[in-house]
Structure 1
């Protein structure tokens, strides 16, 4: 668990500082825990990233951050909150995280895209954290791989920043670079 609260704004950090914070982030080993299933947590993560318990929003960000550290995606695609002693279902409407801010440094193949999630976590897009773009009837839905087969839906305002960056590039194919990896728009889900 981080000892310092997450930053409120990526613009105040350099990429070196972001990389250090990402490296310092220690999460519980939820993938190795196999407790007994205990039922439904009566919790839900809405499409906009708001966490609810018994229909009421969870207003304390430290609680949301804590719960997000014990979130796991199961092989069947469902989500659970897991501790060494219990496992509870949690409903996720779209993705369990939302990328609410992006810091862009560099140009072309040297671009680095660092994202801040609604939980305060930071993720740098690249080989281990790919971006994908899903086309739907209501428009594009960009996603960023966070961890353990769990993704962040990229917030609409952040998507507009990314689209502007891609449109301004000289690449023949429309997409984005980050950490030397190219992520083409329109990649199948």
Structure 2
């Protein structure tokens, strides 16, 4: 897998054709991955490390815009594998733990009660609710660190700094230690 393949995937998603024309303005936070079902193109030499770094052919991908773009086309399928999916191609990649990282969060009060919103290492934000719950993943070395279930079968684990802040925001009730968001109590200990 070469840098040319990364560029080709990027062009397919951004709408840039092979001639290098300017892409049309699109929202790539939520492309219609559920509509894209190409055959497997092969394996791509990309690994997403436990700390959220994306590594291509042994080199860290430094361009955050490229990481954000690839994260927007990432999904986990029923076979447990992770894939970068475009309308025309599907590349399997390696993920050491969970592919995304919660880097920050904020708690706000609303008419319905407390709301917890997390920010990922891709700058994407999710409101913690029944559709995007907090959970404790069953991954070696990550038994007590919470994660967020997000779209397309993906998960985002809390960074160390965000986890320590979350611990300080937790409360204890009859169910155990946890935090409330959108009317749901998420037990974390």
Q: TM-score, structure 1 length as denominator?
A: 0.78
Structure 2 Cα separation of the partners of residues 38 and 96 of structure 1:
20
Q: CA RMSD in A?
A: 2.2
Equivalent pairs counted in the alignment come to 161
What secondary structure does 2:34 align onto? helix
- 1:106 Cα offset (Å): 3.1
Alignment of 1:1-189 (within 5 A): 26-106=29-109, 110-134=113-137, 140-166=144-170, 169=171, 171-172=173-174, 173-186=176-189
Structure 2 Cα separation of the partners of residues 137 and 149 of structure 1:
21
Does the CA-based 8 Å contact 2:40-2:90 persist in structure 1?
yes
Note the alpha carbon deviations across 1:125-166, whole angstroms, 9 max, x for none: 111100012476665121101111111011111111111111
Unaligned runs of 5+ in 2: 1-12, 14-26
Does the CA-based 8 Å contact 1:48-1:98 persist in structure 2?
yes
- 1:170 Cα offset (Å): 5.5
Cα distance 1:33–1:137, how it changes in 2: closer, same or farther (>3 A)? closer
Note the alpha carbon deviations across 1:47-93, whole angstroms, 9 max, x for none: 00001110100000000011111111111110000111111111111
Give the structure, 1 or 2, with the largest relative contact order (CA under 8 Å, sep 6 or more): 1
Does the CA-based 8 Å contact 2:28-2:72 persist in structure 1?
no
Cα distance 1:121–1:48, how it changes in 2: closer, same or farther (>3 A)? same
What secondary structure does 1:34 align onto? coil
Note the alpha carbon deviations across 1:26-58, whole angstroms, 9 max, x for none: 411112211121111111110000011101000
What secondary structure does 1:148 align onto? helix
Cα distance 1:127–1:139, how it changes in 2: closer, same or farther (>3 A)? closer
Does the CA-based 8 Å contact 2:172-2:178 persist in structure 1?
no
Structure 1 Cα separation of the partners of residues 180 and 124 of structure 2:
21
Structure 2 Cα separation of the partners of residues 75 and 25 of structure 1:
23
Unaligned runs of 5+ in 1: 2-23
